[in-house]
Amino acid sequence: MTELYDLHCHSTASDGALSPTELVQRAYHQGVTSLALTDHDTTSGLIEARLCADEKGIKFISGIELSTNWQNQCFHIVGLGIDPNYPPLAEATHNLQSMRLERAEKMALKLEKKRIPGAFEAVKKAAAEGMITRTHFADFLLSQNHVSTHQEAFDRYLAKGKAAYVSTPWADLKLAVSWITEAGGIAVLAHPLRYKLTANWMGRLLNEFKSAGGQGIEVITSRMNSDEIRLAADYATRFELAGSVGSDFHNATNPYVELGRLAPLPDNIKPVWELLG
Ligand code: AMP
Ligand code: MN
Ligand code: MN
Ligand code: MN
């Protein structure tokens, strides 16, 4: 059987549309053989996902995608193979949940000033027990016809510098890497090309990330062209990082993003799964 890895995706525990069970079932139907669930700042979907993965015979990797700050910019760090019960990590996710709740209240106030009431109640209801994210705000704005696409919600209201944007003191990047490694996991820089850093700044970031204990970088994510793959692979080689592959699947509405639908990891890149126990 050919192995198919997808080490980055989201469930209703954060901003995904599918429950952990539905997500694993979809991954199974897509032929995924090893799956990591990596919800934003929470591990609350892992138990359910693992149960379903065991039933389907999929190898399951406990993951998380931590929101972190470095040099006043937000970077996402994926943790793979973590023990979700490691106390500092559990405490961090608890704090991040409060931070997200507070941020949501502030964002809703900003929207109210733009004569868009009701956002806080709506996103709280939509996120239910899960993490409240800007995706929930985008869904709300779309459902109320304040925008006509998700992208427009970000461009007009939610992106950095826009009307409802609230800067958030996420976890310090080096600290977040240490929580992951101390919880027995491998820290991976998520979607490295999405930060729009110059090569110089990317070098600084990767040096910092490595000195904190980071060991991997996503070389393959959805919708990358061959130039982008080459660039990400080049960072992996130069900074001696293992390569990860992950779709960042959130929902079935985007035909270009599907569980397991990913280009192969280039041959010269050490696969991150070789580091997973
Ligand atoms: P948050 O972590 O709450 O700030 O929400 C970030 C999430 O919003 C990301 O994980 C994406 O799923 C989504 N997102 C961020 N920027 C955009 C964008 N420009 N267009 C669509 N979705 C976005
Ligand atoms: Mn997301
Ligand atoms: Mn991300
Ligand atoms: Mn993600």
Query: SS3 helix, strand, coil % of the chain, rounded to 5?
Result: 45, 15, 40
Burial 42-75 (b: 16+ CB within 10 A, else e): bbbbbebbbebbeeeebebbbbbbbbbbbeeeeb
The rounded Å distance from CA 17 to ligand 1 centre is 14
Listed by start position, the domains of the chain span: 5-89+170-276, 93-158
Q: Which residues of the chain have pLDDT under 70?
A: none
CATH number of 93-158: 1.10.150.650
- Domains 5-89+170-276 and 93-158 agree in fold: no
Query: pLDDT tens-digit profile of 51-84?
Result: 999 999 999 999 999 999 999 999 999 999 999 9
Q: Is the CB of 151 under 6 A from ligand 1?
A: yes
**Is-contact 12 40, C-beta < 8 A?**
no
* Structure tokens given for 168: 């958030």
C-beta of 150 in contact with ligand 1 (< 6 A): yes
CA of 136 to the centre of ligand 2 (A): 10
By alpha-carbon position, which residue is closest to atom 12 of ligand 1? Answer: 135
> Is the entire prediction scored with pTM above 0.95?
yes
> Does the CB atom of residue 65 touch ligand 1 within 6 A?
no
Nearest CA to ligand 1 atom 14: 135
* CATH code, residues 5-89+170-276: 3.20.20.140
The answer to whether the CB of 40 is under 6 A from ligand 1 is yes
What's residue 277's pLDDT? 78
Is the C-beta atom of 215 inside 6 A of ligand 1?
no
State pLDDT tens for residues 170-201.
999 999 999 999 999 999 999 999 999 999 99
**What is the per-residue pLDDT for 25?**
98
